[in-house]
Amino acid sequence: MICFPNCKLNLGLNIVEKRVDGFHNIETVFLPLALHDVLEIIPAESTSFFQSGIPIPGSSSDNIILKAYHLLKKDFKQIKDLSIHLLKNIPTGAGLGGGSADGTYMLKCLNSYFNLNLTSNQLESYALQLGSDCPFFIHNKPMFASGRGEIFEPIDIHLTDYFILIINPGIHINTGWAFSQLKPSAPKKSIKDIARMELSQWKYELFNDFEKPVCTNYPELNNIKSELYKIGAVYAAMSGSGSTFFGIFKKEIMGEIKNLVSNETRFKSNKLFFTSQL
């Protein structure tokens, strides 16, 4: 069985307060993107995990895909041994939720492959045990998220006339460190309301609380957002806790932008991805 875990963007991200359980209440809009990893599972005599593509830091035994496998196997004995292969295309530690997507898609694959008949709510509950933004990938459509990031409200975001340029500078941002740099506070205006404004207004209203401390600590990131605006982005921002930035452009200039970023040295040191809303 093969599935294709996709990544996400955060359209704005406010850290509202720290909770008594140590997590944070946030608000953001999750937008699924058509940039995918590839996950394959096949029957085997013993369970193994193999990963290719972009390297993943740390031990493969700690991979979130194996955590998802063991999480469900503990409750469902009909889950048998598998050979698991992940082709990693989505940059890691980048604010794109690629790891969260991989773990959540593993839950979805196991549910389907072994006929577990888990409901969406049950899958969400398991996904939340893997990570705060994992439940989003059960829905995988534009959502205003609050709480830890697991309370959802559908929101209409339609970017069919636009494409998205992802710029990944290859800097791995530790999420725990990023949270430690912030003083949580309730926003004056909800991201939910801002995201419903005209796209041209997002530049002035829609912000990511992580962007300032991350760029202060990694000054080489400071110019990426301004460069995206210089070449014609309607909106540009950092996703999640970084270090990936993205620009939303009108689709009619895609060819021009592709030529520009492929020929200019200022973009050469970054990984670039052209994608769209899922």
- Is-contact 163 274, C-beta < 8 A? yes
Helix 64-75 vs helix 98-113: crossing angle, to nearest 10: 30
Q: Specify whether 133 is catalytic.
A: yes
CATH number, domain 2-154: 3.30.230.10
Q: Specify whether 18 is catalytic.
A: no
DSSP-based helix, strand, coil % in the chain, nearest 5: 35, 30, 35
- Is-contact 232 257, C-beta < 8 A? yes
- What is the C-alpha radius of gyration for the chain, rounded to an integer number of angstroms? 19
Annotated catalytic residue: which of 37, 102, 133, 209? 133
- The reported pLDDT for the residue numbered 80 is 97
- The reported pLDDT for the residue numbered 249 is 98
- Is-contact 137 97, C-beta < 8 A? yes
User: Would you mind telling me the total number of residues written for the chain in this entry?
Assistant: 278
Over residues 117-152, the pLDDT tens digits come to: 999 999 999 999 999 999 999 999 999 999 999 999
The helix (run of H) or strand (run of E) holding residue 236 is strand 235-238
Does residue 172 surpass a pLDDT of 90? no
Over residues 40-96, the pLDDT tens digits come to: 999 999 999 999 999 988 887 789 999 999 999 999 999 999 999 999 999 988 999
Query: What is the pLDDT of the chain when averaged over all its residues?
Result: 94
CATH number, domain 162-275: 3.30.70.890
CB-based burial, 131-158: b 16+ in 10 Å, e otherwise: bbbbbbbbebebbbbbbbbbebeebebe
Does residue 2 surpass a pLDDT of 90? yes
Annotated catalytic residue: which of 8, 88, 108, 225? 8
Q: Give the closest residue to 220 by CA, choosing from 176, 168, 177.
A: 168
What ranges do the domains of the chain cover?
2-154, 162-275
Q: How far apart are the first and last CA of the chain?
A: 21
- The phi, psi pair for 274, rounded to 5°, reads -105, 125
Q: Tell me the mean pLDDT in the region 155-181.
A: 93
Whole-structure pTM value: 0.93
Beta bridge partners, 245, equal 167, 238
Query: Does 162-275 match 2-154 at the fold level?
Result: no
- Is-contact 228 245, C-beta < 8 A? yes
Count Cβ atoms within 10 A of the Cβ of residue 230 and give its class: 0-12 exposed, 13-18 middle, 19 or more buried. Answer: exposed
Q: Give the closest residue to 67 by CA, choosing from 115, 114, 134.
A: 134
3-class secondary structure per residue, 69-88: HHHHHHHCCCCCCEEEEEEE
DSSP state of 171: P
Structure tokens at 248: 């939303």
Task: Measure the CA–CA gap between 115 and 112, rounded to whole angstroms.
Answer: 5
CA 209, 238, 11, 182: dihedral to nearest 10 degrees?
A: -10
